[in-house]
Each structure stands twice: as structure tokens, then as C-alpha cells.
Amino acid sequence: MSAPELRICIDDADLDASLRLDVRRGLTSHPKHLPMRLHYDGRGSTLFAELTRQPEYYQTRSERAVLHDRAPEIAAALGGDPISVIELGAGRAEKIRPLLSALADAGRLDGFWPFDVAEGEVRDVLLELAPVYPDAHLGGIVGDFTRHLAHLPDHHDTRLVAFLGGTFGNFTGMERSQFLRDLRESLRADDWFLLGADLVKDPDVILAAYNDAAGVTAEFNRHILYVLNHRLDADFEPDNFEHIALWDSDTATIDMRLRAMKPMKVDLAALGIDLTFSVGEEIHTGISTKFLPGELENQLQATGFETTRCWTDERGYMGVFLARA
């Protein structure tokens, strides 16, 4: 077994520079806004894991049910060729496991490449999976999937790019189109794209998932202020911000904010910026769009993908879409 190849497209200095740029730009804008990706550091990932266990937060359970129940069908829909799987935003690569097993059981798992900004996670996943899939080519990509899709591994077998967890819904409409175009551009004819997306449903179900009774989403949302305190030597008092999640039915989008409960001054020492907040002023902390299967399939087709299948859980809450480049 040879050591897994690691393609490093981003390092800590790049991540730090983009954090500073994003925060400076976002917090000096009107309205103030922060990028959603900043939430996922150590404590943030722990809070997110806790969120996935809340009864109201259906996304993780629903998508896991689809992948668990349908993995052999998905593997069969990919034809008979050996497949190299690349998972964008893999994290611990937990979501994709049932499909890796189904492909391996069919003798068709040629490779697995987790793609994530967190180098530590990529390395851990490779160490964990090497003994599980001794015959597969394992490698990793450390990068940002909004910038480094041109660095996908490019060997000769068929590739499947998986983008699960509903993260696609955190893009704006423009980011979504750009992402799909970049991805289509980096794939060859006959490669596959597997996309997990949260579907339009009863707004009460959606709103409850973003306002769970235990307050885990609220703490996860406020966590971004801890990240700024820690990384930029800021002095936010997170408990003085209220978590808000609004549903916009026109765009089928959850809009998350942090609302100042009193007037405040905040010093971002590392950026040399002093901020003021008036009572009720909000920081926009991200969106989560929900999709109608037909609309999503149309968008995939408009970008040059051929959509083949869509699987959902029993309640039709999460959709897993298979498209061919």
C-alpha cells in the first residue's frame, strides 16, 4: 500500500488571509454580514454534531436514511465501471460511507478522495480508511471547493463527485450557478455528480429545524462571534446577540442573523477596527435554500449535466440527485 497522495491547494496562511478579508469586508458593510463557513472550527463542529442530533433537525437523519437505504441502487445506477469517489466538504467522510461500502462490495471502488479545507480531517480520514479499503487508491485534496475544483484528481477511471449534507443550499443563487459551472468544467463526459439537497416542505418543519427547542442552532449561530474573538482578538459578547432564523417563502430560503440586544462597541484588535452596534442591528450569518426537485434538475441540465435519478427519504425531506456530466 503506497502512502496516499495529498494535494494541498490551501494552507493556514491562505485561510487566515481570507478570514481577515471576509470579516473586514463583511463587518464594514451595511447590513453587516459574515460568511457561514467560519462556524466550523473545533467547538463549532462539536456544536454542529450536537445540532444533527436534535429532534427538529431532520437534514442529517433524512440524508443518512437515503444513503443507507439506497446505496446499492445508487451504485448500480453508476453502471458497471470502477469508480473513483471524490467527496467535497468531506469532514469525517461519514455521509459517503454507505456508498463506499456498496461500491466496494460490488468490487468497483477504485479510489476515494476526501476534499476539505481542514488538512487534519483529510489526513485522519485517510488513515482511518486505508485499512478498510486496502485495494482502493486513497488520496486527499486540501482546498476550498469554491476555488479549487480544477485540482480534482484526474486519472483515467470514471469519477463521482459527491456534495452532500445540504451545503449546496448555503450558496447564494449566483454562487450556486458559478459552482455548478466550475464543477461541470472540471469533469469529463461520463463522470458523475451526486448532490444532497434539502427540499421544499412545510415551513413549520423547516423553521423548527432552525429554532430547535434546546437552542443548539442559536449557540451554533453565535459561535461565529467566539471564532472572531479567538482568531481576530475581538471582544464580542456573544450572549448579547439573539439568534434569528426567518423563512422567505418567495426564495424558499432560511435567512440567519444575529441581532444585537443592546447598543455595543466591539473592538476587532487584529484588524484595527472598532465597530458599533445599535439595538436591534443584525449581522447576516448565512442562508439555507430549499429546493423543488424539478427546479434543481433544470438548473443541473442548464449547466450541461444530464440528470438521471433522484432519491428521497420516506417523508420526502432530503433529496439525493444523481447527474451525469
Q: In the window 158-177, what residues touch ligand AVJ (CB under 6 A)?
A: 165-167, 169-170
| Residue 20, C-alpha cell as written in the block | 481577515
Please pick, from the candidates 288, 303, 307, 312, the single residue that binds ligand AVJ as defined by CB under 6 A: 288
The separation between the first and the last C-alpha atoms of the chain, rounded to the nearest angstrom, is: 31
Q: In the window 43-102, what residues touch ligand AVJ (CB under 6 A)?
A: 59
* Of 84 and 167, CB closest to ligand AVJ: 167
* CA 148/CA 8 separation, integer angstroms: 10
* CA 201/CA 57 separation, integer angstroms: 14
* Of 4 and 169, CB closest to ligand AVJ: 169
* Of 51 and 271, CB closest to ligand AVJ: 51
Number of Cα atoms under 13 Å in the Cβ half of residue 322: 22
In degrees and rounded to multiples of 5, residue 105 shows phi and psi of -60, -35
In degrees and rounded to multiples of 5, residue 115 shows phi and psi of -125, 115
* Of 139 and 179, CB closest to ligand AVJ: 179
* Of 56 and 267, CB closest to ligand AVJ: 56
Please answer whether residues 9 and 143 qualify as being in contact, where contact means their C-beta atoms are separated by less than 8 angstroms.
yes
Please answer whether residues 209 and 58 qualify as being in contact, where contact means their C-beta atoms are separated by less than 8 angstroms.
yes
Q: Say how many residues make up the chain.
A: 325
Does residue 220 bind ligand AVJ (CB under 6 A)?
Answer: yes
Q: How far is the CB of 169 from ligand AVJ (least distance, A)?
A: 5
Please answer whether residues 113 and 84 qualify as being in contact, where contact means their C-beta atoms are separated by less than 8 angstroms.
yes
Q: How far is the CB of 206 from ligand AVJ (least distance, A)?
A: 9
Q: How far is the CB of 157 from ligand AVJ (least distance, A)?
A: 30
Please answer whether residues 142 and 88 qualify as being in contact, where contact means their C-beta atoms are separated by less than 8 angstroms.
no
Q: How far is the CB of 150 from ligand AVJ (least distance, A)?
A: 24
| Residue 86, C-alpha cell as written in the block | 471524490
Does residue 217 bind ligand AVJ (CB under 6 A)?
Answer: yes
- # binding residues, ligand AVJ (CB under 6 A): 10
Does residue 289 bind ligand AVJ (CB under 6 A)?
Answer: no
* Of 170 and 303, CB closest to ligand AVJ: 170
Point out which residues bind ligand AVJ (CB under 6 A): 59, 165-167, 169-170, 210, 217, 220, 288
